[in-house]
Amino acid sequence: MRKVYVLNGPNLGRLGTRQVDVYGATSYADLVALCERTGRDLGLEVTVRQTDAEHELIGWLHDAADEQAAVVLNPAAWSHYSYAVRDACAMLRGPLVEVHISNIHAREEFRQHSVVSAVATGVICGLGVDGYRLALHHVATLAAG
């Protein structure tokens, strides 16, 4: 069974109440349930985590690198400026799918570039929380060979 970490950065724990016009009405608990259900259906061992502490996310990325696990990552605001998160992502030995709920390319100028994208296997943005489901399907396809 392929291990997959679904990691979420700052403010994503506020889904469902934070800027619903941008991020939708799905709660963080609903997102976790979606990822866990999708993972089970695909035969993946999914662990979902969220943090507002950059060092904690970096530690989880290091763990994923050591375990050669796949990662579905929504780095949130850290996408745009955290070279520390980007460097931790570059250490991953499994696939990395970067996910954004909103279309970052259609938002404020400072949000239109992600420093993480250059080291990601792929990027999904603008498809709401369904992007997580699609990312897990991609990881499962890669695991199937």
Contacts of 114 (CB under 8 A, 6+ apart): 75, 79, 80, 98, 100, 104, 123
Q: Which of 5, 28, 100, 132 does the annotation list as catalytic?
A: 100
Q: Which letter does DSSP use for residue 25 in this model?
A: S
Please say if 100 is a catalytic residue.
yes
The answer to the question of whether 113 is labelled as a binding residue is no
List 5, 23, 28, 132, catalytic entry: 23
The annotation status of 87 as a binding-site residue, yes or no, is: yes
Per-position DSSP letters for 9-34, written without gaps between them: -TTGGGTTTS-HHHH-S--HHHHHHH
Q: Is 74 annotated as a binding residue?
A: yes
Please tell me whether 102 is known to bind a ligand.
yes
CB contact at 8 A, 133 and 38:
yes
Task: Establish whether 80 is an annotated binding residue.
Answer: yes
Q: Is 11 annotated as a binding residue?
A: no
105 assigned to active site: no
What gap in Å lies between CA 3 and CA 1, rounded to an integer?
6
CA nearest neighbour of 123 among 77, 74, 59: 74
Query: What is the set of active-site residues?
Result: 23, 100
The annotated binding site for substrate is made up of 74, 80, 87, 101-102, 111
Annotation: binding site: 74, 80, 87, 101-102, 111
